[in-house]
Amino acid sequence: MSVFQIAVLGVVFFLCAVSVIIFRIQRKRLHHLHLGSVRSLEGAISKNQGQIRLRSDTLKNYDFLRQNISEVLMVQKEIEVAC
């Protein structure tokens, strides 16, 4: 093997090592960005689930029959009653 071939081989190995290091750094950065996005989405989902639970509990305590009857008994000027 000549000195030139050894130099080329050394440069190729060096470039491969640098490429692997750059790849790992970018992968780690993207992984952290992904984790941040996932945490943000999990927080939004948790908040929305809390709202759903709150609304569900409110609907469970709502007396539809009583509320609907009181609304029906209200005078509505928009409705003309033909006698």
pLDDT tens digits along 5-38:
999 999 999 999 999 999 999 999 999 999 999 9
Q: What is the pTM assigned to this prediction?
A: 0.55
Identify which has the larger pLDDT, 26 or 73. Answer: 26
Identify which has the larger pLDDT, 73 or 30. Answer: 30
Q: Which of helix, strand or coil describes residue 65?
A: helix
> Radius of gyration (Cα) for the chain, nearest Å?
34
Instruction: Give the pair of three-digit tokens for residue 4.
Output: 């030139």
Q: Which helix (H) or strand (E) holds 50?
A: helix 3-61
**What is the average pLDDT score of the chain?**
87
SS3 track for 5-42:
HHHHHHHHHHHHHHHHHHHHHHHHHHHHHHHHHHHHHH
